[in-house]
Every structure is written in C-alpha cells, then in structure tokens.
Amino acid sequence: MARLLIVSNRLPISIRVDRGALCLTRSSGGLAAAMRGPHERMCAVWIGWQGSVAGLTPEQRQDADAALAGIRAVPVHLGATEQHRFYDGFSNGVLWPLFHYLLDKVNLDAELDWEAYQRVNERFADAVAAQYAPGDVIWVHDYQLMLLPALLRKRLPGAQIGFFLHVPFPSADVFRILPWREQIVRGLLGADLLGFHTAGYRKNFAASAAHVLGLDPDEAAIEHDGRRVALGVHPISIDAAEIERLAAHPAVREEAARIRAEAGGRKIVLGIDRLDYTKGIPRRLLAIERFLEREPELRDKVRFIQLAVPTREMAGAYAEFRRVVHEMVGRINGQHGTTYATPIHYMHRSVPLDQVVALYVAADVMLVTPLRDGMNLVAKEYVAARVDDDGALILSEFAGAASELAEAISVNPYDIGSVAAAVKHALTMPSAQQRTRMAALRRRVATHDVHTWAQSFLDDLDGAAAPDPALAAPSARRDVPESVVERVRHAPQRVWILDYDGTLVPFAPVPDLAAPDEELLALLRALSERDRVHVVSGRPRADIERWFGALPLHLHAEHGFWSRPLACDDWVPLESDAAAWKGEVRALLEDFTRRTPGSFIEEKTVTLAWHYRTVEPELAGEHLRALRARLAERVSVDALELLGGAKVLEIRPRGVHKGRVVPLILDDVPARAEVIAIGDDRTDEDIFAALPPSACTIHVGNSTSRAAYRLPDAGAVRRLLRSIHA
C-alpha cells in the first residue's frame, strides 16, 4: 500500500529520560503541528533527526528507536559535531539570515559547514531511500533539506517528490549572494512540486532559477532536466477548529479573565514570538516606547505583554540578542513605569498552548511585527481564538500572512512611528469596525485551515507527478549505451545529421562568438573522410558557408530552407518567395528590441529571430510574453509559426523546418547505412520526427525530447564523435 513519507530536519518528538524511564513528548512547533494531521490520518512515516541522544545508554537508544517505530517515526542518526555544523553552522548561520534579508548576519565563509550540509542531506537521502516502496509519496520540508529532492531523484527516479519551504524565498538579487546558489537551486528542482507560502516567494524562486541556471520559467512551472517542476502557492495555516475549541473551553476562559483582572482594567496589547532576530522585537519595543511618549494620557490605560519563547539558546548571537532585548525592556519600564504599574510585562519562557490561547482571548490588540516571516501562524491563531469577533490584529507587511489577512492593520515594522500610530488606532477602533474586520479574518482562517493546506499540496503533487501524455513517449532519458556506440562504430556506412549551436559548440552570448574552433573543424574533416556528414543549422547560409564551405560536408542553413550538397557550389532554396510577410513583423520586433536592452534581431532569408540571451531574466520573460501576444494578434496561424529556442524566439513560414531536409538526405543513403542525428532544441525535434525508428537519435541537454538517447552537452557530443571515428 502506498504511503506518505514526511521528511523534516527534526522528528516531531522529544526524547528524554525521567527517573530512569524513557519519555517521548510531542513537539509544539509550527511544522510539527501542521503535519500532525497527515501523519495520523494517512498512517504516514515521519523521517528526521530525533534530537541529541548523548545522555542515553546503548540500551536506551535501542528502546528509543523501538518506541519511535511504534509511532511510525524513523530517526536519522547524526553526530554532535555534524549536527552542529549542518544546523547551527549552515542552515541557521547562512540560509536562515539570508532568506530573511539580514545580510549582515550571513556567514559566507562557511565551507566546512557547507560540506556538513551536503553530508547530512546525503544521510537523509539514504534514510528515505531505505524506507521507500514503489508508489510512496515523499514530502520534504524546509530549508535544512534543500539538496534532498535532487538526491532522492537520483536514487528514486520514478518517485513522487514534493518540497515545501516554510520560510521566505528571497529576491534573486539577495539569493545570488550565496556562493552555493547553483547547488541549492538544482537540489530543489529534483522535486515534482515546490510549494511556497506566497506568490511573491514563488516569483523570487523562479527569478533565481532564471538568473542562476539560465532557465525560462513560466508562472507555475520550470522545465529542467527533461522534467516539468511545478511551482505552487500553498499558504500554511493552523488547526482553526482546535484553537476555537480551546478558546471556548471554560478553563481557558477563566485564565483569560484572570489575565484581564491582573491588567487592572487596562487594555492589553500582546506580542508572542520566538526570541529570534527576524521577529523584530527590538523595533517593536521602540514603537511601544514611541507610543508611550506620544500618548501620555493612555500610559496608564494600556498593558503590553510580550512573551518571548526561547530558541537556539546555545548560539552566541542569540545570547547577545537576548541581552539586548532584556535591557531594552528594563530601560523602557524604568523610564515609563509608575508606582502603580510597569508598561511592559515581559516573559522569557515557553508556555503551553492552552495558556497561549488564554492570552489570545484576553488581548485587545495583537502585535505581530516581524522584520520578515515566511507566514507567521501566531497571527492566524489570534484570529481563530477571537470567537466573539472582537479584538484587533496589527500585522507586518513583511509577514507571509499579510497576503491573506487583508483586514488586519498593516504596518511597516521598520517605521516605528507608524507602528506606534497603529497601536493607538487599534485601541481606539470602534467595536463595530473591529467586529467587521475580525469576522472576515476568522472566516478566511477557518476556511483555509491546516487540513485544507495539506490536502491541497498533496493533490497538486499528485497532479504534478503524473506523466504528461504528450511527453510520455518517447523521451530522451538515457545516455547512449555502449552497445549502440559499438554498433555505430562498426557500421559499414554512416550518415551524420548534426545541428550546430548547442550541439557542436556551446551557446555564446551573441551568435558571432560561437564560430567553430580548429579542433571542431579538424574533427568534422576527419569524420567526413569516411562518413557522409550533414550540418543542419538555423544559422544564415553566409555563416555556414564561411565556416564550413571549404570542408567536404553537406550543408543546410536556416532550418533547411537553403541546402548546399557536397558536389554543388550553389545553395538551393526549399521554395521561392517565402519572405513576403517579414515587413510588419520586423517592425514589431524592432519596437521590442528598443525597449529590451541586450536583445537583438537576427534576420535570415525567410525567418526573423529575436535573441534575448543577455537580457535580464525578469524583463526578458515579461517582454517575451508580451511579444508572443502581439505576434499572435498579427501573425496568420496558417502561414507562420512561432518557435521558442534557447533564449530566442523565431518566426518562420509554416512548413519550413529541419525535418524537410530528411527525405533529401535519406534518398541518397545506402540501405545498410547507420543514420545518426544529434540536436539540442525544438527545431531538431522535426528531424527526429522525420527519421525512421531505426535511426539513432540523440538529444543534447535536459529538455524533453522524442530522441532515443541523450548527451549532456556539446563536449560530450565531440567525445562521442571522436570515439566512433577512432
């Protein structure tokens, strides 16, 4: 039976020994709470680090593993140093601050930590592969395991793999600071579905993939390694019904009443955060101080409660941060406290969920002002707890939750004056307006709860991992086997049909920089001494003539519109008067070229090409979509076709394509000759389609192809040609 394999850095279980007895306690973090439902309902297996077991005896460790197995949890055992470098060193010393835009805290000299990050991701891949059975669905979570999807794809090519990022994905300009950016992007693209909290995070990842790997993502997917990787927006949520149940519980209501009584009739403004530098607590304290300075008449009417939950207590940076926060609270209370009360009631400890909900119920205003946050579930929990539809939520515009909770009072957490003003606005908001806002917020949180989130992601993963019938067969998914190489090597006669750009030479920023080198010219000359060699290129015939005219080759230019047989000095066109359409289209391309720095037009006899390889990726994508739309309005579908290539859009007459030269080539091929065709892009698919099944077809690169085999790049093509000619 197919299962769900949940993979995260930590298991949702803490292990400890109490008076000699082994105790397993469920964790209360956001990821643990979010995935508890799928883990229980779907009988899923959860794979992750079980926490430090240094204090356990060997027998207790065995007992712990057995106890974990009983609740379908599989531990990944890590050494203390390895775990420290992986988690504290790279995950939280590099990725966490980078993804939250706190660049001054990013350690970019972290080679040893990066090596540990790679090793631990490999360890997780081994653990998942050991648990995997055909049909299982794998769901990987968060920034600690961003290499894992590709590692799993290598071990388990046919597996359904989803990845969800629980933190923000930064803008491409910020992400590209990372020295290991390419490995991270390639790691993530091993998944079938990548999930993000917001459309903004998804857009940032797509832009990063475009910059780092030169890919052309659309809004919802990226083509990579011959696969389509879906990009989804799945804002995580909470178990709203459980929070509502707790909020209505008599014991919680009684605790909330006690909190209000302690406030002595003052309005309560609440903040609940992990004591992390991303949460903006110091700037929030400055905003509270500004409020107390601006509103002296309200000083004795408001009580600020700040619950700071300990996190990463062993890290030096966090110890310093804790000291700064404590000193700020002391300074503000010392300046603005009275003989009757202090303005800020500060608690630095963990609190059970029922007491947290009591605080939500008691608070008149919830202050959620992170500097940057993937989602922030505290905001949603506060909303769910307001069962009387009262209260006011102040929410940072840089929290992912801001994209959903539009009725909250939105603030810029860096602007302490506006946060102070928002506090006054929330405290003085008419009750009718409060109820209107909160009712709308509660409906949205209740509708889009954590169960809907999980099921939506799994449904999308199921759709993303399903094979596309249009691409299912055949597809270039195999390297050229040695048996095929031997067959070609010993064939009595061989006919080669070779593309040029991307096949015999790598792509260059501009076409003129991709002239053939002496090694290639010598290789083609040597090959043509025994074999028939056809070069079929989209290049203008002038380029092909200049580069290869002196070699004993059959030449085909402009996608086969022009051909120059070996024994002929003249180029022969495929048909006459095929370029009457170009005037209007050329004018449109010129307009887009003027508005797109780095782009240029290449004109051939019967085609026009708009190149955008050196254009900034976001601008290229935007203008390419607009250009396609404008061309679709003007171009006759029956007469012309738009052909997307490697950073180029080509407009050509319908029916003029490389496949048209195949019958001409095959008419002159001996019966026992081995035909080998090699190409890298969409234009070469027409050749593959026109050839008989007996031909050896090879796709270069990672795109989807009908070719039987594939090679990674132009260098591999040359090595193949040399090995067969030798």
19 sits in the region (left: phi over 0; alpha: psi -120 to 50; else beta) called left
Mean pLDDT computed over 257-271: 96
CA 579/CA 583 separation, integer angstroms: 9
Q: What is the mean pLDDT of residues 182-186?
A: 98
Query: pLDDT at residue 474 above 50?
Result: no
The stretch 111-139 carries a mean pLDDT of 97
- In this structure, are residues 405 and 447 in contact, taking their beta carbons and an 8 Å threshold? no
- Residues in contact with 191: Cβ distance below 8 Å, sequence separation at least 6, in sequence order: 140, 149, 153, 161, 162, 163, 229
> In the prediction, which pLDDT does 164 show?
98
Would the pTM count as exceeding 0.85?
Answer: no
The alpha carbon of residue 219 and the mean position of all alpha carbons in its chain are separated, in whole angstroms, by 12
Residue 468 clears pLDDT 70, i.e. is over it: no
- DSSP codes, 233-286: E------HHHHHHHHHSHHHHHHHHHHHHHTTT-EEEEEEEES-GGG-HHHHHH
Residue 478's pLDDT is what? 67
- The more confident residue out of 348 and 60 is 348
> By C-alpha distance, which of 163, 144, 162, 139 is closest to 5?
139
The pLDDT tens digits for 89-113 are 999 999 999 999 999 999 999 999 9
pLDDT at 318: 78
pLDDT digits (tens, 9 = 90+) for 5-33: 999 999 988 887 776 677 777 877 778 88
pLDDT band at 616 (very low <50, low <70, confident <90, very high): confident
Q: Which of 599, 720, 581, 711 is nearest to 654 (CA)?
A: 581
Going by pLDDT thresholds of 50, 70 and 90, the confidence category of residue 578 is low
685 pLDDT above the threshold of 80: yes
The DSSP-derived string for 161-173 is EEEE--S----HH
Q: Work out the mean pLDDT of the chain and round it to a whole number.
A: 90
Cα–Cα dist 452/460, whole Å: 12
- 557 membership: H or E segment, kind and range: strand 554-557
Query: What's the average model confidence in pLDDT over 42-47?
Result: 91
Residue 480 has pLDDT above 80, yes or no: yes
pLDDT of residue 475 exceeding 80, the answer is no
Q: Helix, strand or coil for residue 531?
A: coil
pLDDT surpassing 80 at residue 634: no
What percentage of the chain exceeds 90 in pLDDT? 69
Q: pLDDT band at residue 155, thresholds of 50, 70 and 90? A: very high
pLDDT at residue 166 above 60?
A: yes
In this prediction, residues 182-192 reach a mean pLDDT of: 97
Catalytic residue of the set 499, 531, 681, 686 = 499
Length of the chain, please?
726
- If DSSP codes are grouped into helix, strand and coil, which group holds residue 11? coil
pLDDT digits (tens, 9 = 90+) for 601-613: 988 888 899 999 8
Q: What is the pLDDT of residue 576?
A: 67
Q: What pLDDT band is residue 637 in, cutting at 50, 70 and 90?
A: low
| Structure-model confidence comparison of residues 235 and 466, the more confident one | 235
Can you list the alpha helix ranges (DSSP code H) found in 558-616?
A: 582-594
Active site (annotated) includes residue 273: no
| Average pLDDT for 256-262 | 96
Highest mean pLDDT among 268-272, 515-519, 557-561, 704-708: 268-272
Q: Does the structure show a pLDDT above 80 at 376?
A: yes
- Section 550-578 average pLDDT: 85
Q: What is the predicted pLDDT for the residue at 614?
A: 86
Of residues 436 and 39, which shows the higher confidence score?
A: 436
Residue 473: pLDDT over 50: no
As a whole number of angstroms, the distance between CA 49 and CA 23 comes to 16
Q: Is the pLDDT of residue 216 over 60?
A: yes
**What is the per-residue pLDDT across 286-302, written as a single tens digit (0 to 9) for each?**
999 999 999 998 988 99
Mean pLDDT on 684-689: 94
